[in-house]
Amino acid sequence: MKKDQRHSWRTATRAIHVGEEKHGIGAPVTTPITRSSTFTFSSTAEMKRWAEGRSKAYIYTRYGNPTLTVAEEKVAALEDAEAAIVTASGMAAISSALLAVLKAGDEVIATRQLYGGTYRLMRDIFPRLGIHVQYVENDLAGIERLVNKNTRVLYTETPTNPTLRLVDLRKAAAIARRHKIVSIVDNTFATPVLQKPLSLGFDMAVHSATKYLGGHSDLIAGAVAGSQKFINAVRQMVIYLGGSMDPEVGFLLIRGIKTLEVRVERQCENAMAVARFLEKHSKVARVHYPGLRSHPDHALAKKQMCGFGSMLAFDMKGGPGASGGAARRVCDRVRVFLLAASLGGVESLVSLPLYTSHYNMSAKELAGTGVSPGTIRVSVGLEDPRDLIDDLKQALA
């Protein structure tokens, strides 16, 4: 990441300090965990004021909690958002954000290459709620022909999981604005360090905070950032559906966010080194990394992001059968990389999307996502890049 390209240094400073106790003798440097499910009122008059919506007092942790408020202020600072809410998981964030604006009879236009869990939510649950989803390719071709009087949400994800294709966020936001559709983007892969969707016109950014925001593979969390109006609506949905975060997790998330920028910066450098190595390897058919010139969205990545991220994928050579076997052998042989789903932690991971994020999909559905049996997804961590490359060398040999 070029220093002058970073738009987030100030943001990182804010994200470290915002919400913390102000200085004073004996003040804690870190956020205390408010390990309480419920909060007292000083009188029934106070209780009545709360019930009438005239008090912002904490009442019950599903509604809000001081530790979670700090986490929310940090996420909002990172995303340059008016407000944010943290949730029990990325899927709680995604489902609550979508259901906050959708009702039976509404339509969603979504880009086809989504995280498998999001896709399955739209495929398996939304029809039961009377919500119809139409898909467009990442280039948004023909999207305006799909818009009709019921269209309520434009939902996208960029870079995509796992083939790292990009969606032009400025273009998508402009289309949504033109048609008065709510725009929501999953910013998990990019992180707010590399991409700020709200500043490009998006209404809401959602996260699996399990990934980079947490950063240490030790929590499950989600977040939504946007205007106060949208976040109030999402909070209502979290309160109804119960996808609220536990304060202990809030503490871990706060801790993770403090080092987000330095982790992402170093992980981007490591990913570039790994991608360049893989691109030259004789057994590798193709490397999906937006930082490579060979990537179809390299130019857009340079424009839209201020670093290329630390997720990549590569396809082994051979037809579906041979490449699938080869991919499994590589994943079974790595020693520094760990064979695990998830991403964004300090440990480098490999996984087969076919058996993890994209399980339970038909051959036709998989074709639309770019995932093949020979596709290996890589989350590059903070190890020495020489160790990572040596490990891949021996696993590919």
For residue 162, is the peptide bond before it cis, meaning its omega torsion is within 30 degrees of 0? yes
In the complex, minimum distance from the CB of residue 161 to ligand PLP, in angstroms, rounded to a whole number: 5
Tell me if 96 contacts ligand PLP by CB under 6 A.
no
* Residue numbers 25-84 binding ligand PLP by CB under 6 A: none
Tell me if 323 contacts ligand PLP by CB under 6 A.
no
What contacts 342, CB < 8 A, 6 or more positions away?
A: 210, 211, 217, 349, 379
- Specify the residue for token string 């202020």: 73
Is 212 considered catalytic here?
no
Tell me if 210 contacts ligand PLP by CB under 6 A.
yes
Of 156, 158, 188, 375, which one interacts with ligand PLP (CB under 6 A)?
188
Of 72, 74, 115, 249, which one interacts with ligand PLP (CB under 6 A)?
115
* Residue numbers 123-162 binding ligand PLP by CB under 6 A: 157, 161
Is 35 considered catalytic here?
no
- Specify the residue for token string 């590569």: 314
Is 186 considered catalytic here?
yes
Which candidate in 152, 211, 286, 377 is catalytic? 211
Nearer to ligand PLP, 110 or 326 (CB): 110
Tell me if 195 contacts ligand PLP by CB under 6 A.
no
In the complex, minimum distance from the CB of residue 341 to ligand PLP, in angstroms, rounded to a whole number: 7
C-alpha torsion angle, residues 351, 352, 358, 359 (rounded to 10): -110
Of 163, 208, 244, 369, which one interacts with ligand PLP (CB under 6 A)?
208
* Residue numbers 353-382 binding ligand PLP by CB under 6 A: 357
Core vs surface per residue 334-361: b (16+ CB within 10 A) or e: bebbeeeebbbbebbbbbbbbeebbeeb
Residues 147 and 347: their CA atoms lie apart, in Å, by: 42
Contact (CB, 8 A) for 338 and 81: no
C-alpha torsion angle, residues 190, 226, 111, 369 (rounded to 10): 40
Q: How far are the Cα atoms of 19, 110, 130, 132, 181 from residue 106, in angstroms, in the given order?
A: 37, 13, 7, 7, 11
Residues with a known catalytic role: 62, 115, 186, 211
Q: Which residues contact ligand PLP by CB under 6 A?
A: 89-91, 115, 117, 157, 161, 186, 188-189, 208, 210, 220, 222, 342, 357
